[in-house]
Structure 1
Amino acid sequence: MGKVLSFGELLLRICPDGDGEWLKENKLPFYVGGAELNVATALALWQVPSAYFTALPANFMSEQLLGYMQGCNIDTSRIYEGGDRIGLYYLPKGKDLKNAGVIYDRANSAFAMLQTGTINWDEVLEGISWFHFSTICPALSQAAADVCLEAVKAASERNIKISVDLNYRAKLWQYGKQPAEVVPQLAQYANLIMGNIWAAHKMLNISLPAGIEEADRETLLAQAQKTSEEIIQQYPTCQSVANTFRFDYGKGIQYYTTLYTDQKLYVSKEYRSEQILDKVGSGDCYMAGLIYGFYNRNEPQHIVDFATAAAFNKLFILSDCTTSNVATIEQTLTQHQFQ
């Protein structure tokens, strides 16, 4: 097996407190992230050969970030040098990326300004057996969407497995197109599609009954199977579909997921916690867990259980990417035996 290449924009998360103490202290916590880099970091930590593609400007900040990624055992040799700036986003402590308080500062970033016809895909995809991206990429700009399509076509032509995370960020789709106008042409190349029933409806035009938000667990699981079957019917290249269910209550959380593969729905254990630390990157950790399982040819039930435990474990780690190794995740899995 070759390396897993994660394709997307590197971001710096600026994380001010909600009370403005950062102004008095003259310091702001920050984290290195970006959905695809979070996946690449987790896979490298779990001993899966991991490479990353993004665009970074030629400056000392980029040099330090390259050193950071190399220290995480991520192959950075394919990163494109060019552009003027690194993307940023601001998110108050403890908030979710879907929260209205998130502020993006990504316009005209090096990645968003990439153009088709400028990347040597023979070099970028050399030695790659799995290509991963998220729908955050085509949300940035028409140019980024075009490069993303060029990338998945190049990967498909080389018989590289492709996965996509249906990340929906309403604030990013600002260049005149809606996700359903862009994402389907990308998804047609994917072998593994991850998201949730609502994202599939929004981005792939998959049917969803009214009032499903108030449905019980059994109904949601049945809908996960229907959504998965409809995706595979509409996108014949797709072999597996994963759906996550994360519900907040107070400061706590309820979390479970499904994996549909080989015409069967596999359901994870269900996790609950009265408090969590950081919601950012949990879905990326789940995506990494799926890739880890398929890459190692694990059984479907173990794939979905491991990925779910990894995602739940990430909720208690204060950073964009996980720091939990495989042994820690397996321990999380054995400690939660309830359904």
Structure 2
Amino acid sequence: MKVVTLGEIMLRLSTPGFTRFVQAQSFDATYGGGEANVAVALANYGFESYFVSKLPAHEIGQAAVNHLRRFGVSDRFIVRGGDRVGIYFLETGASQRPSKVIYDRTDAAVTTLTPDELDLGAVFEGARWFHFTGITPALGETARKTVVAAAKAAKGAGATVSCDLNFRKKLWTTEEAQATMRPLMEHVDVCIANEEDADKCLGLTAGETDVHGAELDEAGYVDLAKRLKREFDFEAVAITLRESFSASHNGWSAILHDDKDCAEPVRSTRYDIQIVDRVGGGDSFASGLIAGLLQKGDTREALEFAVAASCLKQTIPGDFNLVSRAEVDALVAGDGSGRVQR
């Protein structure tokens, strides 16, 4: 089953362990980025996964391509060109000290990717699903045009289109985000968000929830899901619910509203997570939801798969969710003890 994502893959340079930037004498190098993370997870689940992007022809660009190949993602539609791979630096927080990200991605090759460089007919031939995030259109006008062209081509090919809103205040303002993302929703079937994304990208708020604390107004989330679905005519709306007790301790669950099996939005199982690496947690939810909606029997099964998958990812260093379908299914079935498997 063919699935396609489009976006940026970056070089990730992380301080070892929980050291601070000012302490670091070396960095751990890997690769990651919203849509690339989704592509890898879907490949792990057995899908025919394609990542669309642009990377330089030099060795660092090739290293990023090789990293995707390692996990079964096709690079057939990665255009080679441009001068640089975007970089982000990560300092992993602990307890009451938050994690920090510093971007160095200006003029990355993907920001120059135009629709004319892609054979969109071939990209979406036989595709069942297309996924992008709000990060990619935040990279500039050229990237916005490419995302719109790809979404239109995907819809024309009969693929379901999903978008994880993923607001990034270091990339654009609320006003810029809404001016781009609200019209873009015309081409989206499945919207994935948290409370801040919905507010900053689409101008809809989730009740009295405190995004910087651990207070959730569940009724507000339910109402938000309904309003999003009604206003933008989405087939489904998924909202992740993160209770941030500290950088190391989070509550994790989600709501899904799709009208297929339930008249009202459904709430998932809630997981209490001791965080190892929360970067990529939302992407692992998105990939789990895509897999669930394509292959599970009903709304609740799809939601439970997505939440369990993203729970497991947050115990793994790096951007990618390197878990199998069987491991996710085991957690959904209730095997969350963490006992050694011998």
Report the counterpart of residue 235 of structure 1 in structure 2.
Answer: 232
Alignment correspondent of 2:24 = 22
| 1:166-181 alignment, distance < 5 Å | 166-173=165-172, 178-181=176-179
Contact 2:92 2:100 in 1 (8 A): no
> Could you tell me which residue of structure 1 aligns to residue 217 of structure 2?
220
* Length-normalised TM-score, structure 1: 0.89
Structure 2 residue 309 is the aligned partner of structure 1 residue 307: no
Counterpart selection for 1:246 from 238, 242, 247: 242
CA deviation after TM superposition for structure 1 residue 285, in Å: 0.4
Sort the Cα spacing of 1:60 and 1:227 in 2 relative to 1 into closer, same or farther, 3 A: same
Alpha-carbon separation, structure 2, partners of 1:271 and 1:315? 11
Aligned to 1:192: 190
> Conserved in 2, the CA contact under 8 Å of 1:11 and 1:89?
yes
Unaligned runs of 5+ in 1: none
Deviation at 1:315, TM superposition (A): 1.2
Q: Distance in 2 between matches of 1:126 and 1:308?
A: 30
Distance 1:19 1:164, change over 3 A: closer
Q: 1:315 to 1:329 in 2, by over 3 A?
A: same
Matched residue SS, 1:188: helix
- Worse-superposed segment, 245-254 or 301-310: 245-254
Moved more, 157-166 or 12-21: 12-21
**Which AA in structure 1 matches 2:267?**
V
- Write the mapping of 1:70-85 to structure 2, written as runs, cut at 5 A: 70-85=69-84
Corresponding residue for residue 59 of structure 1: 58
Aligned residues: 326
- Give the aligned partner of residue 139 of structure 2: 140
Task: Give per-residue Cα distances to partners, 1:201-253, cap 9 Å, x unaligned.
Answer: 221122444x3328x999733222211221122212x1110001112213311
Give the deviation of 1:326 after TM superposition.
1.4
1:255 aligns with 2:252: yes
Q: For residues 175 and 219 of structure 2, what CA distance do their matches in structure 1 show?
A: 31
Task: Work out the CA distance in 2 between the residues paired with 1:217 and 1:239.
Answer: 29
Letter in 1 for 2:114: Q
Corresponding residue number in structure 1 for 2:279: 280
Give how far 1:296 is off.
Answer: 0.9
Query: 5 Å matches for 1:80-91?
Result: 80-91=79-90
How far is the alpha carbon of 1:322 from its aligned partner? 1.1
Q: d(CA) in 2 for partners of 1:59 and 1:184? A: 37
**What is aligned with 2:181?**
183
If the length of structure 2 is used for normalisation, what is the TM-score? Answer: 0.89
Q: Which residue of 2 aligns with 1:332?
A: 331
Pairwise CA RMSD:
2.4
CA distance in 2, matches of 1:76, 1:169: 26
Worse overlay, 217-226 or 107-116: 217-226
CA distance in 2, matches of 1:84, 1:205: 36
Structure 2 segments unaligned to the other structure (5+ residues): 338-342
* Distance of aligned partners of 1:152 and 1:328 in 2 relative to their CA distance in 1, 3 Å threshold: same
Q: In the aligned structure 1, how far is the partner of 2:258 from the partner of 2:222?
A: 10
Q: In structure 1, the residue corresponding to 2:327 is in which secondary structure?
A: helix
- The one-letter amino acid of 1:48's match is F
- 1:56: how far off? 0.6
Task: Quote the Cα distance in structure 2 between the aligned partners of 1:79 and 1:260.
Answer: 34
Q: Per-residue deviation at 1:61?
A: 2.4
The 1-side partners of 2:53 and 2:185 are apart by 20
Q: Give the distance between the partners of 2:124 and 2:143, measured in 1 at CA.
A: 18
Q: SS of the residue aligned with 1:171?
A: coil
Q: Structure 1 residue runs of 4+, over 4 Å off?
A: 216-219
